[in-house]
Chains A and B, each alone.
Chain A
Amino acid sequence: MLASTDILDHVMDHAWPGAETLFGVRFTWMSSAIATMILVGVALAVLLPMLARRHARLGIESLSGQVIEVVILFVRDQIAVPALGPKRAYAFLPFLLTMFVFVLAMNLVGLLPLQPLTNWLTDGRYPVGHTPTSLITVCAALAGTALLVIFFTGCVHAVRHSKLPAWAAVPLAPGLWFLNLSPSIPGVTGMLLKVPLAILESIGVVAKCFSLMIRLFANMVAGHILLAVLMMFIITTLETTVTTAMDATIENNIVAFYVGPVCVAGSVLVDLMELLVAGLQAYILTFLTAMFLGLYGEPAH
């Protein structure tokens, strides 16, 4: 096996056999990453309500109650309230909490060596454990969700605060929100600049959500590629030595004694960093989503 394919292999999602097309269209409906997401989703959907029930029964006397309360308090006090203010925070708290735990769980499960394990167990046919957040499409779905929530919040806010009657305001809600985006400037200048500024601001909204996608994707994929490259050094050195050197055993020993430990130590450190990045990116994604919600969903007048 070539080293270059191995690096990509680590970072790539693998479709399950027979799940690559749907009604004749090329559409992967089951893959390693999707299986991971289902795994994560089911685990969260089972585990968190269980924790909540224990919290309801035992309060913070139980460890489970403490765990779920710590998560909720963290998202509320560190993300929702600073970004949205104490009044509006509760409306978006379930959304932000779900986003936080979902992304965090996906990032963390991606760090587990599930993929090699399932590859070995199922003979490479049904891999599970690819980090879903290292796929740009998954990141796009998450960022798109954020954009949609911002958009609908903005529409609802615009309808509520418009002077028009409800029957006129509801169909015009996107337009109202669009105009609300531009800062209010008095006079003729404000009238003239209203639409250009709104255009600029709406580009800003989309760009910010785009940045959410790129940020999560780049952070998650970078660590994985770095890890893969580090581990590939061992194989690459081995392969080159085996093909070029006369005395393969001596060279192998050099690899085993010098390259191997360095690569292993390096990848352990990178893995620790990835642990940090997993938590940090879940926090950053949720925090920025909350901030954009506060900025554009319900712009201050």
Chain B
Amino acid sequence: MAIRRGSMTTRGRAAVVAAALVAAPAAAHAAGGGGEVGNLGQAVAALLIFLLLLLVLGKWAWRPVIEALQRREADMQTRIEQAKDRETKAEQILAEYQQRIARAEDEADIIRDQARRDAEAERDELLKTAREQARQAIDDARRDIEHAETAALEDLQEATARMAADIAERVLREELGPDAQQRLIQHAAREIVEAENTGSRI
């Protein structure tokens, strides 16, 4: 019944609660006769103590701790965000450095290739020069040898001719005049040269 009344007028709701609070112990009294199951006094005491506790604890117990908790949680939140920021930054820096390293490696490769090509070119150059010089030296030496050979042959020819002339002169001094002697020498020299030529060819 009390509930129906309360539902019809909203204003009366508080009054209904109060009425219920009064009615329950009163009914208990009526039903129990002398027995005391409950009483309005306990309800009032409970309400008063509850409200006092709410005031006291709200001011001196809950509020400070809740505020400390909120501060700490906010602090933790900012720290977490900071840590996340730092992580992102660190990742960016890491990526940047990795890129730089990759670039540096590329550059190093290029430089190394260049150096190798340069070195190879220089080596080829040096080899070519050395080979050239060697060939030059060999040619010089061969020409010198040819010169010396020709000179030696001429010397030998002359010496042989002179020797033959000497011998012929000694043999024919008495029998031959100076003209005949000259003719004979020339003849002998020619013969020697021919013999020489045929001999060298052999």
Contact = CB atoms under 8 A, between A and B. Distances in A.
Q: Do A and B come from one complex?
A: yes
Interface of A: 8, 12-13, 15, 22, 26-31, 33-34, 37-38, 40-41, 44-45, 48-49, 51-53, 55-56, 59, 68-69, 72-73, 76, 90, 93-95, 97-99, 101-102, 132, 135-138, 140-142, 144-145, 147-148, 151, 174-175, 177-178, 199-200, 202-203, 206-207, 210
B7 A141 contact: no
Contact of B57 (A34, A48, A69, A76): A48
A55 B25 CA distance: 42
Contact of B6 (A68, A95, A202): A202
Contacts of B49: 37-38, 40-41, 102
Given A151-B14, A207-B3, A138 B42 contact: yes
B16 interface: yes
Is the contact region of chain B dominated by helix, strand, or loop, or is it mixed?
helix
B61 A206 contact: no
B172 to A, nearest CB: 146
A202 B4 CA distance: 10
A71 to B, nearest CB: 9
Interface in B1-38: 3-4, 6-8, 10-11, 13-14, 16-17, 20-21, 24-25, 28-29, 35-38
Interface stretch (B65-73, B93-101, B151-159): B65-73
B57 A8 contact: no
Given A33-B42, A45-B56, 4 more contacts: A33-B45, A45-B53, A132-B46, A138-B42
Given A98-B54, A137-B38, A178 B46 contact: no
A93 B35 contact: no
Interface residues of B, number: 48
Given A27-B40, A136-B37, A140-B21, A95 B54 contact: yes
A49 B36 contact: no
A285 to B, nearest CB: 12
Given A52-B60, A56-B64, A147-B17, A206 B3 contact: yes
B59 to A, nearest CB: 8
Contact of B45 (A37, A178, A210): A37
B50 A137 contact: no
A76 B67 CA distance: 13
9 closest Cβ pairs, A-B complex = A49-B60, A48-B61, A28-B41, A137-B43, A141-B46, A137-B38, A94-B58, A141-B43, A178-B10
B40 A73 contact: no
B90 interface: no
A97 B62 CA distance: 8
A203 B3 contact: yes
B42 A27 contact: no
Contacts of B57: 44-45, 48-49, 94, 97-98, 101
A145 B47 CA distance: 7
B127 interface: no
A138 B41 CA distance: 9
